[in-house]
Structure 1
């Protein structure tokens, strides 16, 4: 194993997921890729649909571009803090923009990843049905092994 991708939402139990990914990377002498995806804002943008009323493809508005840039900056700051605490081999950080499952799987392919480490929130059945579970969608799309770390959400 040469490359392990760790997809992080940078919320809740991030440390648990990072620790397991570091353990795997150290065990196999692999490079660790810390990846966070900033998702688009808005229903049409997030699902890449065309507005049926306007018949036009969606576009990002200037204030949305500022919001996206702010989210990227915050993500980079959080990844900085995580990286400083790591005592692992090579660490590569990436903040991407798009649909989480698509970006993680595409990045894993481009990086020649041997494994993806992701967390899964233990939502209720209704919440999972409505939101879809990003980790489940990645499981369906990825062509490499995936280590899913269950996390418990605190209410």
Structure 2
């Protein structure tokens, strides 16, 4: 297995997912790709909102592209920090933009990955319905093995 993809949400339990993915990469002599996806948030427009009574600017809504760029840069910084503690040359990091499941699966196909490693947050009930559980959606779409690492969501 030449490549393993670790899809990271960069939340509290990311280190656990990276640790398990690195363990798999070492066992199989694979290159590890740490992937984080920034999902577009909606259709924001650069706007100045002015209070007509005072003539004062009350809020600035940033352009969505600016927000995406900020999120992308922040994610890249976090991935770079994670990589700094891992074996040199064995790990690559990518920040992708789009729908999480689609981007992870497409990236895995492009890299001819043999496995995808994801974390699962153990949501239940209404929270699970709203969140849609990304790991389950990737499991249904990918044509390669998926390793799901159970994580505990901090409350």
* In structure 1, C-alpha distance between the alignment counterparts of 2:93 and 2:31, rounded to whole Å: 11
How far apart in 2 are the matches of 1:118 and 1:89? 22
For the residues of structure 2 that align with 1:19 and 1:100, how far apart are their CA atoms?
Answer: 21
Match of 2:99 in 1: 99
- Number of matched residues? 139
By how many angstroms is 1:87 displaced?
A: 2.7
1:133 and 2:101 equivalent? Answer: no
- 1:31 Cα offset (Å): 0.4
2-structure distance, mates of 1:143, 1:119: 18
Deviation at 1:124, TM superposition (A): 1.7
Structure 1: runs of 5 or more not aligned: 43-58
Greater than 3 Å deviation, 4+ residue runs: 59-62
User: For 1:137 and 1:60, how far apart are their aligned partners in 2?
Assistant: 27
Correspondence for 1:16: 16
TM-score (norm 1): 0.86
What is the rounded CA distance, in whole Å, between the counterparts of 1:61 and 1:107 in structure 2? 30
Q: Does 1:154 align with 2:115?
A: no
Once residues 93 and 131 of structure 2 are traced to their aligned partners in structure 1, the CA distance between those partners, rounded to angstroms, is 27
Deviations 1:93-130 (A, max 9, x none): 11000000000000000110000000011112211112
The aligned runs of 1:3-152 (5 Å cut-off) are 3-42=3-42, 61=45, 63-87=63-87, 90-152=90-152
SS of residue paired to 2:11: coil
Partners of 1:96 and 1:77 in 2: CA distance: 14
Q: CA RMSD in A?
A: 1.3
Per the alignment, in what secondary structure is the counterpart of residue 70 of structure 2?
A: helix
Report the secondary structure of 1:16's partner residue: helix
Residue 61 of structure 1 deviates from its aligned partner by 4.0
Q: TM-score, normalised by structure 2?
A: 0.86
